[in-house]
Amino acid sequence: MIGKNIYNFCEKIFPINRSLTGDGVRKTLEIIKDEVGELNIYEIPTKTECFDWEVPKEWNCKKAYIITPDGEKICDYSINNLYVVQHSTPINQEMSLEELEQHLHSLPNLPKAIPYITSYYSKYWGFCISENNRKKLKEGKYKVVIDATLSDGAMTYADLVIKGREDKEILFTTYVCHPSMANNETSGIALNTFLIKYIQNLKDRRYTYRFVFAPETVGAICYINKNLKNLKENMDAGFIVTCVGDDLSYSYVSSRKGDTLADKVALNILNYGVEKFEKFDFTNQGSDERQYCSPKVDLPVCSVNRTKYGEYKEYHTSLDNMDFVSPKGFGGAYNVYTKIIDVLEKNGYYELQTYCEPQLGKRGLYPNISTLETAKETNIMMNLLSYADGEHDLIDIANILNIEATLLIDITKKLYQENILKVKE
Amino acid sequence: MIGKNIYNFCEKIFPINRSLTGDGVRKTLEIIKDEVGELNIYEIPTKTECFDWEVPKEWNCKKAYIITPDGEKICDYSINNLYVVQHSTPINQEMSLEELEQHLHSLPNLPKAIPYITSYYSKYWGFCISENNRKKLKEGKYKVVIDATLSDGAMTYADLVIKGREDKEILFTTYVCHPSMANNETSGIALNTFLIKYIQNLKDRRYTYRFVFAPETVGAICYINKNLKNLKENMDAGFIVTCVGDDLSYSYVSSRKGDTLADKVALNILNYGVEKFEKFDFTNQGSDERQYCSPKVDLPVCSVNRTKYGEYKEYHTSLDNMDFVSPKGFGGAYNVYTKIIDVLEKNGYYELQTYCEPQLGKRGLYPNISTLETAKETNIMMNLLSYADGEHDLIDIANILNIEATLLIDITKKLYQENILKVKE
Amino acid sequence: MIGKNIYNFCEKIFPINRSLTGDGVRKTLEIIKDEVGELNIYEIPTKTECFDWEVPKEWNCKKAYIITPDGEKICDYSINNLYVVQHSTPINQEMSLEELEQHLHSLPNLPKAIPYITSYYSKYWGFCISENNRKKLKEGKYKVVIDATLSDGAMTYADLVIKGREDKEILFTTYVCHPSMANNETSGIALNTFLIKYIQNLKDRRYTYRFVFAPETVGAICYINKNLKNLKENMDAGFIVTCVGDDLSYSYVSSRKGDTLADKVALNILNYGVEKFEKFDFTNQGSDERQYCSPKVDLPVCSVNRTKYGEYKEYHTSLDNMDFVSPKGFGGAYNVYTKIIDVLEKNGYYELQTYCEPQLGKRGLYPNISTLETAKETNIMMNLLSYADGEHDLIDIANILNIEATLLIDITKKLYQENILKVKE
């Protein structure tokens, strides 16, 4: 149900011509704002310096295509925005096939796929084409048109901070710079949007939640540049929301340190909440964890995915389309992420208030008749009390008990209400 | 030999009607006192508050039985004290089989066994019966008699502190609240008694030894309540002595922290001193380690058993009788526990007094002729010297060498006498 | 090529009659001095106290042999210096076979080998003989001659310190007390000599290198005694160079602590630089690591070998000859040790100077066209930047990336020159 809703939203933004900069990003962010009711959209001018980088020129592509010697229009950007190398310089020119071939990109091993190619930082123009169609091209004069502007403008990104009782923050960030590919990366935008709605509906929130939608790498670098102080002071855990729509597997990319709160909660939910998942250490990083975990930035950020970027053959091609993702895929990712939120909301270093075990019977917390079911619950409760020593948080205790930490939430609440457990100051 | 002596003592106290409170406990403690010559017996009045608990009423059962419609006396407490639910309220009444059935307990899966049932904290009466005999009961009027008192009195427990050169203490504690079951728990009482005798005969004791005999849970809680300051200040290691009479296996239940001195010495002896053993982490706790290891109490207490409570089918039934335990079973447990004591007595963080290796030859500690046997001894000695850095105790060094720590005792003594090794201040 | 040179040098010093003390050691050290151009040779008088030891008497053997009843000269020291028990007292006497047998040593399990036997610290004379030849001895009068002096003199050792930019030192030490055996121990002398030449040719050295040639055990103890303060203050890593000439395997004996810089660099090179190797923990110690790692000395010294002492059947016999070692064997050891040096020279705790990743493209460090080869290099570079947090040195980072640390040297140099990386102060 929720998976279907996310899928539908993904489908809606899928066709938009997003790139590192430009109007496609703006249009996407406006649709998100409509969906959730609130969103801060920022424009950061070309050439603005952000740490070691500067914001590149803005690229907008009106149309792009090739006319074959037979007069056929191919590689039409209005049909599929992957046909054009991102940030191509404008061109309008006739040329031989030989000359054109220098600017064509295809994948011999995936002959039906249009590849996704970018050239953000070197001047270049090019087209992407399936290997099958490339082979059909004959000798002759080709007309090549890219009607695009690459000029001073801005890079666009957005965030939304939803306040909780505490200033401490949880971050969910995704990237908005990819054109029409579904899993990487329209899925992250869609899921992040629905996580906003989940938080908006969460009563009596403990944490403050920060949602970010920015271009990958340079967008994340600019975002960190603008928000470093606050992020360093307040972030308890953060997640790169990417590749969350397919149903092939679950994956996890660790933070650089590997043992942050973000890693801990993600691993508990993945270890006990899904049938299996692939575990990638940080040396496999390839997205914005690289910025958030950079030594001087050093934030507790990991990534939870369905099938990780680079681990499926359709990755970075036109085959990563709406057929590759599914309501079931989105539903699974949403389930994992909302469990992560639920656990973080209640997590803490609890301390047992009594010497020795409390007399649970007199408080109605100990079963009169013992069954296998109550025995399991009692064992969980007794161990929760035993490890409530101010040195193990709920996730640690769940890990010791080999259970999903969500299973401790209700018991903890009862024991807290009875003043048996308190949170360590 | 020693195993047979312990078995015989176990047999002597086996028939006594022990419960959480009452005269059976008193009688048991008097027999122990007779055996070892000294024991402090305490009475703690009903309703005394101990941390979150209060001492329950005292229960004494004079007689209890059922008269069947045929006039047969069954479930006779004087024949087997398991027939009555512990702490049953008095009753003397006729009733139908249907009514009686509400108060009968049996085990369909173990049809010959009388189960062991307690009702310490809710008012109730009941009888335990084998499933086979229960099936034979016919319709008709049953006369049900429980001639018991449940009234203000006291809970009884005992301890014995045997002084050594140092104030630091080793604790051995067992529980005295179980009626006639052999492994759990008459065996612990018997073994603890013979460990007292071992310590009484140990010349030039280093440690002070504390032996405790108390009811499980509330007894342990009261004991900790009365002795907390001393236990916290002085206890170096403690052991729950329970289920130590059978010969099926060895087991170990870790302390909450898992790496205390108690765990370290127990694991070394079990790893290298017995053929195999079952290792249970603290989440499998179920006895008084729960109190001693409770967060605010936090003492270094683990448990070494033959077959652990709950891990044998006869557990908590009439089948846990004197046939289930054996002299060989007791002998094995005694051997492990006395090795633990021997190692603790000599354990320490030794420091090599020379720079580089000492010249052992001139002290007659290096073999003139090297054989395989002396080579092994020499290797042990050279490694003992190498790791005598004040950061590894004897148990650590034994673990590094993959040997039982008892094997280092004699060599250490020699090197100590030669002033080559000293104990770190 | 280099392997052949080391082999040839080994062959040159192989026949010399080395022992714990005496002229053979002096002659060997002079040959080393000739080879490398500089060497400090020291004489330390008999009876000098060094920690718990004293320097033994000097032993020089002019000739030694046995004349059989048939007039045949056997066990002739001038043919093989293993025939005589090292430090044998002089003798010139006729005796029966029965009497002689008390002083003969052979190896029934290795019937062609002459064993290597010493008697440094107890007065004794003896001959070593192959089991096959021993069996041929007939009844009759034997003339036994050992023309040797065992008298006050000196123990001889040498060192060479080659200064670098820093005072911090790397130690390479080997022992010079073994007579004609090739792998243990002429090979270490030969390799250590060629490591001196490698360092002499290393431009702009960072580390100061200390090379030691001393008798085993008492020689090492005396060396440490004389140099303790400097060694403690300056040694960053040290290596016992022994058994480095055969081609059967590679081996590693850990330092006592097991995690020193010496261990770290050795393990990285062995894990990723050779096909396989045997890993021995410190409990297998048997050479001078025992002294250097002794608790109060406590230096970061491990050992990298081809086949470790005691792990080949020819060990400590006449079969450990020039056929047992090979140019290939020496070449492999030289390769490992020089890689260790190369990594140590460039190792350090580097710190990334930018927030977030640096823009490598504008510095020409990011490939324009990505191939499998550049992708691997880029991944290594990105991870190097990610882990350059001042808490991981280059070896740690190489271990995280599962690569030989030598692979990081060039990239690190480039990034250092671009001021992207600096060494942590």
Given this model, what pLDDT does residue A372 score?
A: 66
What pLDDT, in 10s, does the model give residues A43-54?
999 999 999 999
Given this model, what pLDDT does residue B368 score?
A: 65
Residue A194 near residue A32 (C-beta atoms within 8 A):
no
Whose CA is closest to A174, among A73, A292, A262, A267?
A: A292
Query: Which residues on C lie below 8 Å from B378 (Cβ)?
Result: none
Backbone φ and ψ for A253, nearest 5 degrees, come out as -115, 120
Given this model, what pLDDT does residue B99 score?
A: 97
H or E element, residue B144: strand B141-151
Question: Given phi > 0 = left and psi -120 to 50 = alpha, else beta, which region is B258?
Answer: left
Domain ranges of chain B: 2-56+154-346, 59-150, 350-423
B300 or B368, which is more confident:
B300
What's the average model confidence in pLDDT over B339-349? 98
pLDDT exceeds 90 at position A369: no
What pLDDT, in 10s, does the model give residues B159-204?
999 999 999 999 999 999 999 999 999 999 999 999 999 999 998 9
Tell me which chains share at least 3 CB pairs under 8 Å with chain A: B, C
Using a 10 angstrom Cβ sphere, with 0-12 exposed, 13-18 middle and 19 or more buried, the burial of residue A12 is: middle
Query: Which residues on C lie below 8 Å from A282 (Cβ)?
Result: 383, 386
Tell me which chains share at least 3 CB pairs under 8 Å with chain C: A, B
Taking domain A2-56+154-346, whether its CATH number is 3.40.630.10 is answered by: yes
| Closest Cα in chain A to B222 | A356
| Closest Cα in chain C to A54 | C359
Q: Indicate yes or no: CB of B386 within 8 angstroms of CB of C295.
A: yes
Question: Chain B within 8 Å of A389 (Cβ-Cβ)?
Answer: yes
Residue C68 near residue C145 (C-beta atoms within 8 A):
no
Place of tokens 């579904």: A182
Given this model, what pLDDT does residue C373 score?
A: 72
Q: Indicate yes or no: CB of C356 within 8 angstroms of CB of A282.
A: no
| Closest Cα in chain A to B299 | A356
pLDDT exceeds 80 at position B42: yes
Question: Chain B within 8 Å of A365 (Cβ-Cβ)?
Answer: no
Question: Cα separation of C227 and C374, whole Å?
Answer: 49
What's the average model confidence in pLDDT over B22-35? 98
> What tokens were used for B88?
């049953």
Q: How confident is the model at residue B62 (pLDDT cuts 50, 70, 90)?
A: very high
Given this model, what pLDDT does residue B361 score?
A: 85
Query: Which residues on C lie below 8 Å from B355 (Cβ)?
Result: 51-52, 224-225, 228, 294, 296-297
Question: Cα separation of A399 and A271, whole Å?
Answer: 9
Place of tokens 């397919």: A246
- For the four alpha carbons of B263, B264, B265 and B271, in that order, the dihedral sign comes to positive
Q: How confident is the model at residue B389 (pLDDT cuts 50, 70, 90)?
A: very high
Which segments in chain C show pLDDT lower than 50? none
Question: Chain A within 8 Å of C385 (Cβ-Cβ)?
Answer: yes
Task: Collapse the DSSP code of B35 into the 3-class scheme (helix H, G, I; strand E, B; otherwise coil) and give the result.
Answer: helix
What's the average model confidence in pLDDT over B374-382? 87
Question: Chain B within 8 Å of A359 (Cβ-Cβ)?
Answer: yes
Nearest-CA distance from C265 to chain A in Å?
21
| pLDDT, averaged across chain B | 96
- For the four alpha carbons of A86, A88, A94 and A100, in that order, the dihedral sign comes to negative
Q: Considering the domain B59-150 in this protein, what is its CATH number? A: 3.50.30.90
> What tokens were used for B359?
């010249």
What pLDDT, in 10s, does the model give residues C137-186?
999 999 999 999 999 999 999 999 999 999 999 999 999 999 999 999 99
Q: Indicate yes or no: CB of C379 within 8 angstroms of CB of A298.
A: no
Given this model, what pLDDT does residue B224 score?
A: 98
> What tokens were used for B425?
């201040």
ipTM of the complex: 0.92
Q: Indicate yes or no: CB of B357 within 8 angstroms of CB of C285.
A: no
Nearest-CA distance from A395 to chain B in Å?
15
Nearest-CA distance from C29 to chain B in Å?
25
Mutate to test the interface with C, among B350, B353, B356, B372 (most CBs of C within 10 A): B356
Those residues whose C-beta lies under 8 Å from the C-beta of residue B409, and which sit 6 or more positions away, are: B342, B343, B346, B394
Q: Indicate yes or no: CB of A295 within 8 angstroms of CB of C361.
A: no
pLDDT exceeds 90 at position A249: yes
What pLDDT, in 10s, does the model give residues B109-146?
999 999 999 988 889 999 999 999 999 999 999 999 99
Q: What topology is assigned to B350-423 in CATH? A: Arc Repressor Mutant, subunit A (1.10.10)
> What tokens were used for B383?
């490694």
What Rg do the C-alpha atoms of chain A give, in angstroms? 25
What's the average model confidence in pLDDT over A132-151? 97
Given this model, what pLDDT does residue B369 score?
A: 62
Q: Find residue C141's DSSP bridge partners.
A: C96
What pLDDT, in 10s, does the model give residues B213-237?
999 999 999 999 999 999 999 999 9
3-state secondary structure chain C: CHHHHHHHHHHHHCCCCCCCCCHHHHHHHHHHHHHHCCCEEEEEECCCEECCEECCCEEEEEEEEEECCCCCEECCCCCCHHHECECCCCEEEEEEHHHHHCCEECCCCCCCCCECCECCCCCCCCEECCHHHHHCCCCCEEEEEEEEEEECCEEEEEEEEECCCCCCEEEEEEECCCCCCCCCCCHHHHHHHHHHHHHHCCCCCCCEEEEEEECCCHHHHHHHHHHHHHHHHHEEEEEECCCCCCCCCCEEECCCCCCCHHHHHHHHHHHHHCCCCEEECHHHCCCCHHHHCCCCCCCCEEEEECCCCCCCCCCCECCCCCCCCCHHHHHHHHHHHHHHHHHHHHCCCEEECCCCCCCCHHHCCCCCCCCHHHHHHHHHHHHHHHHCECCCCHHHHHHHCCCCHHHHHHHHHHHHHCCCEEECC
What pLDDT, in 10s, does the model give residues A283-332?
999 899 999 999 999 999 999 999 999 999 999 999 999 999 999 999 99
What is the DSSP code (8-state) at residue A167? Answer: S
pLDDT exceeds 70 at position B372: no
CATH class (in words) of the domain with range A59-151: alpha beta
Given this model, what pLDDT does residue C425 score?
A: 80
